[in-house]
Structure 1
Amino acid sequence: MSLGISSITIFPFLAPLNHYSPMLLLSWATVLSASPALAKIAQYHQLPPLREQADIQDAWNSERISNIPSILQKYGIDAWLMSQKEYAEDTVFWSLKSANQFSARRRTVNLFIANPAEGTPSKYTWIDNTSQVWDDIILVLEEQKPAKIAINADEGSAFSSGLHVGEMGIFKEKLGYRWAERFVIERMIAIEFIAAMVPSRLPWYKKLQATTWAMIEEGFSGSVITPGETTNELTPDVEWWLRSKIQQMNYTTWFHPSVSILGGRSPFPPNESAVVIEYGDLLHVDFGVTALGMNTDTQHMAYVLYPGETEANIPKGYLEGLKQVNRLQDIVRDNMKVGASGNSILKKSLGQMRVEGFEGRVYSHPIGDWGHSAGTLIGMFNLQDSVEVLGDIPLLPDMYYSIELYAEHFVPERNATMEFFLEEDVFWNQKSESFEWVVGRQEEYHLIYSLTNNLLDKLRTDL
């Protein structure tokens, strides 16, 4: 939690320094950085043993697969057919597989039936490298008599276009014209299956998000950052510290963290040149973790306090900029109505933003099984009028969604208009029938308190 005081006023009672371990002193540097609101949310969560993780994921998987017949019925499809070879998997395979599967084996075929004949299953799986598999599939098709068989050959969505050209040719050759002429493309089947999150996933997703916040909170602290020395990306500096922390916690990630200095000293998006972090800098991080088959995506900001400063010394323009980008978050979330297209949400949000007298960009996306997951897009960084195809998809319930954007605000202390970036994940709350923050959102800056010179010398000597 924040003590509301600087290192200058807190560390005198720590003398003599040799009475305290370097790790204890580092922990003080981290504690000083945490505001009450952020510290309440930012908590580390250890992952369970691998066997337990597999059991958890397989239970989620079974629950999700049980929903496939109703998805097929919703779109008027009788069967859904997928086929893939090892290392040439259909995109949907990764959301269908068990926790212990690392790739498809031989030829793996999945067939789902919307309304199975009495006494027959709705799901069939074959793992085979002989021609027998096609005879078996034809027997099932003869029994089930589907009029429309969906295949994943859509041109507009990666999640609905995972059927390889070679497998399509085999389908037509081995199943024959009678069944091939019933093939149809319905992109929403794969999109909805991947996008829809079962309720039992949410408790662990909240833990992943809280852990993401905790890693950012520690990374944006005096235990990691020494103004005038630490850079945003060079080993072992902030970006690589975050990567190492992910590995230490037995998590993984789906993209390399990026740390930038806002306001002109470091470009956004960051380039490959490292920049030394100085007192008074406004920092930005884009960061996410992966675990249990789920992904997070978060962007936060931090302020580097001068020695002797507290949160009361943050430039007023920075505080107002944070409120402005919070307001844009509210606008987007309020416009996220189930059934509305991403393009219509984008248009309404940007229109409302401009009516309220400020500028910014909205480039929000689904998240879950993938960092950029299946579903409608609410803008892209370079597409602020509309997004072809994916922007026309309706917003679905039961999704996790990443509200990613920035707002512009004039900062008198810098005599410049600056861009304030935030990103937070939301989930569909079935009770309120609205999208709500998974664990919260940033409304206060992470604060990087400076350590006194003699303390820094002691830490360098002992470590």
Structure 2
Amino acid sequence: MRGILVVTAVAFVQSVIAGTNPHKTPQFQALPSLREQAKIVDGWTDERKALIPGILRKYGVDAWLISQREYAEDTVYWALKEATMFSARRRTTQLFLANATAEGAHSYTWIENTDLVWKELKAILDAHQPAKVALNTASELAFAGGLHAGERDVIADALGPDWAGRFVLEPMVAVEVVATMVPGRLPWYRKMMETAWAIIEEGFSGAVIAPGETTAWDVEWWMRDKIQALNYTTWFQPSVYILGKTDLPAAAAATTARGARRAMDDPRAPDHRISYGDIIHTDFGVTAMGLNTDTQHLGYVLYPGQTAADVPRSVVEGLKKANRLQDIVVANMEVGRTGDEILKKSLDQAHSEGIEGKIYCHATGEWGHSAGTVIGMTNLQDGVPVIGELPLLKNTYYSIELYAEHFVPERNMTIKFPQEEDVFWNDETKTWEWVYGQQTELILVHTTEKNVLRAQGEL
């Protein structure tokens, strides 16, 4: 089967370089005013809160209690707060009911620093008599384990043993609440993803990179500055590295263009000067409006006078192999399957097609690494305890993150070709679809006369 894969990849080489799969030209998308952003985000939060009673009923829970002190917030707090709240105030307590009476509300919120919160909370519980009250006390799931131990003790003491006896742990309540992306988010998520693509493509261009002069860290910090200039932020330091050059043993990789030290920004990406013929990679994301993107793309630095036709065929094949592995994973992402089941099916299929690599996909959106099952981790390719055993939920976003290994004869080495692209669940077609697109063409860094002169020290 390995031979079949190579033939298929070779057949696609010309179509990828020539662009018969039309390449989009991403544009920077401006964010609305902060006031308008707050209005939009609060609307999404209201839609999410409206789903909570149904989620409680789905998991057989009658009530869900969340409580925290200022600066000691439950993880879920950040998914339910108003846009203009930057932390919990005093003690912030929320109660959600699965089946409110005709006279009662489905949710209650207190911001209080006296015992009044417990008196009113107990009165509501006494009136509704929920048999099971879920608390976020999971030991292995961050999104269902945010209740501080001290706060739990305070709640139990304040409500008394009868109510403390009804406390239960149902981690999927918090996980599904956070994981569910309401439909209104998608248009803005597409714009954010397009912006991320646009930043990467400008960063991987002759406008930023002068071969022989520009270093990987120079591009990283250019990306950070660009993010800020566009009024976005990010949830991790962008990384830029050179395939085949930074895949070195730690001792060798420690020597960088800025001295003998490991990279402070990202230990995976020691600093090197970018040269002609380099295959460059970035791991990059932007943050805005309570959403986070996550993307890994590849570029190739052309020599002066070269065109797309001069890109080594093996490099294009490496990207295509990573694309194929992404497609395999997406095809196996059946809602309800666990992450571990998807991982095994995907790896088995990849191996049958002669593809070697690693899969480490995760939910994204509200957080960069958000609530939901994971499909492998870099060090756990036989299954991920607890998190990998959760079922895949629909109506969420996922980063299809992985790498495929491919032998590059021009370097006489096997190189890891990473790719990462976000998908969303289309409830109409019952399929996962790319939020903005899938990188099927290398980003080509064209050398200009200015680049050449700068590299030669004549400018």
TM-score using structure 2 length: 0.90
Matched, 1:157 2:141: yes
Match of 1:303 among 296, 300, 303: 300
Q: Deviations over 1:238-287 (max 9, x none)?
A: 00000000000000000000000001345597546310000000000000
What is the aligned partner in structure 2 of residue 73 from structure 1? 57
- Mapping 1:2-17, distance limit 5 Å: none
What is the aligned partner in structure 1 of residue 240 from structure 2? 259
Distance 2:422 2:137 in 1: 30
- CA drift at 1:64: 0.5
- CA drift at 1:114: 0.2
| Change in 2 beyond 3 A, CA 1:244/1:461 | farther
- Mapping 1:45-124, distance limit 5 Å: 45-124=29-108
- CA drift at 1:412: 2.0
| Change in 2 beyond 3 A, CA 1:291/1:282 | same
Distance 2:395 2:450 in 1: 52
Is residue 213–residue 454 contact of structure 2 (8 Å, CA) maintained in 1?
Answer: no
What is the aligned partner in structure 2 of residue 10 from structure 1? none
What is the aligned partner in structure 2 of residue 348 from structure 1? 345
Is residue 210–residue 451 contact of structure 2 (8 Å, CA) maintained in 1?
Answer: no
Is residue 210–residue 452 contact of structure 2 (8 Å, CA) maintained in 1?
Answer: no
| Change in 2 beyond 3 A, CA 1:453/1:36 | farther
Matched, 1:368 2:365: yes
Q: Deviations over 1:173-232 (max 9, x none)?
A: 100001000000000000000000000110000000000000000000000000000000
Distance 1:166 1:423 in 2: 40
What is the aligned partner in structure 2 of residue 278 from structure 1? 275
Is residue 260–residue 266 contact of structure 1 (8 Å, CA) maintained in 2?
Answer: no
SS in 1 for 2:184: helix
Distance 1:391 1:239 in 2: 32
Distance 2:334 2:37 in 1: 34
Equivalent residue letter for 1:208: M
What is the aligned partner in structure 1 of residue 336 from structure 2? 339
Is residue 402–residue 423 contact of structure 1 (8 Å, CA) maintained in 2?
Answer: yes
Equivalent residue letter for 2:224: R
- CA drift at 1:418: 1.1
Distance 1:263 1:38 in 2: 28
Distance 2:21 2:33 in 1: 31
Match of 2:199 among 206, 215, 236: 215
What is the aligned partner in structure 2 of residue 317 from structure 1? 314
- CA drift at 1:305: 0.1
What is the aligned partner in structure 2 of residue 402 from structure 1? 399
- CA drift at 1:34: 12
Distance 2:269 2:193 in 1: 27
Distance 1:271 1:407 in 2: 17
What is the aligned partner in structure 1 of residue 418 from structure 2? 421
- CA drift at 1:454: 8.4
Is residue 206–residue 451 contact of structure 2 (8 Å, CA) maintained in 1?
Answer: no
Q: Deviations over 1:345-370 (max 9, x none)?
A: 00000000110112010000000100
Equivalent residue letter for 1:320: E
- CA drift at 1:99: 0.4
What is the aligned partner in structure 2 of residue 12 from structure 1? none
| Change in 2 beyond 3 A, CA 1:390/1:298 | same
SS in 1 for 2:433: strand
SS in 1 for 2:283: strand
| Change in 2 beyond 3 A, CA 1:271/1:398 | closer
Deviating more after overlay: 184-193 vs 41-50: 41-50
- CA drift at 1:41: 4.6
Is residue 259–residue 270 contact of structure 1 (8 Å, CA) maintained in 2?
Answer: no
What is the aligned partner in structure 2 of residue 245 from structure 1? 226
What is the aligned partner in structure 2 of residue 181 from structure 1? 165
Distance 1:337 1:142 in 2: 42
Deviating more after overlay: 54-63 vs 256-265: 256-265
Is residue 90–residue 162 contact of structure 1 (8 Å, CA) maintained in 2?
Answer: yes
- CA drift at 1:38: 7.8
Q: Deviations over 1:400-458 (max 9, x none)?
A: 00000000111222222111000000000011101110011100000001111588569
| Change in 2 beyond 3 A, CA 1:265/1:78 | closer
- Mapping 1:435-454, distance limit 5 Å: 435-453=432-450
Equivalent residue letter for 1:43: Q
Is residue 299–residue 442 contact of structure 2 (8 Å, CA) maintained in 1?
Answer: yes
CA RMSD of aligned residues (A): 2.0
Is residue 34–residue 447 contact of structure 1 (8 Å, CA) maintained in 2?
Answer: no
Deviating more after overlay: 266-275 vs 81-90: 266-275
Gaps of 5+ in 2: 1-16, 254-265
- CA drift at 1:292: 0.4
Distance 1:116 1:312 in 2: 66
Equivalent residue letter for 2:215: T
User: Where does structure 1 differ by over 6 angstroms across 4 or more consecutive aligned residues?
Assistant: 33-38
Is residue 210–residue 454 contact of structure 2 (8 Å, CA) maintained in 1?
Answer: no
Distance 2:171 2:297 in 1: 34
- Mapping 1:121-200, distance limit 5 Å: 121-200=105-184
SS in 2 for 1:199: coil
SS in 2 for 1:406: strand
TM-score using structure 1 length: 0.89
Distance 1:60 1:228 in 2: 47
Is residue 355–residue 404 contact of structure 2 (8 Å, CA) maintained in 1?
Answer: yes
Q: Deviations over 1:134-178 (max 9, x none)?
A: 110010001111000000001120000000011011011100001
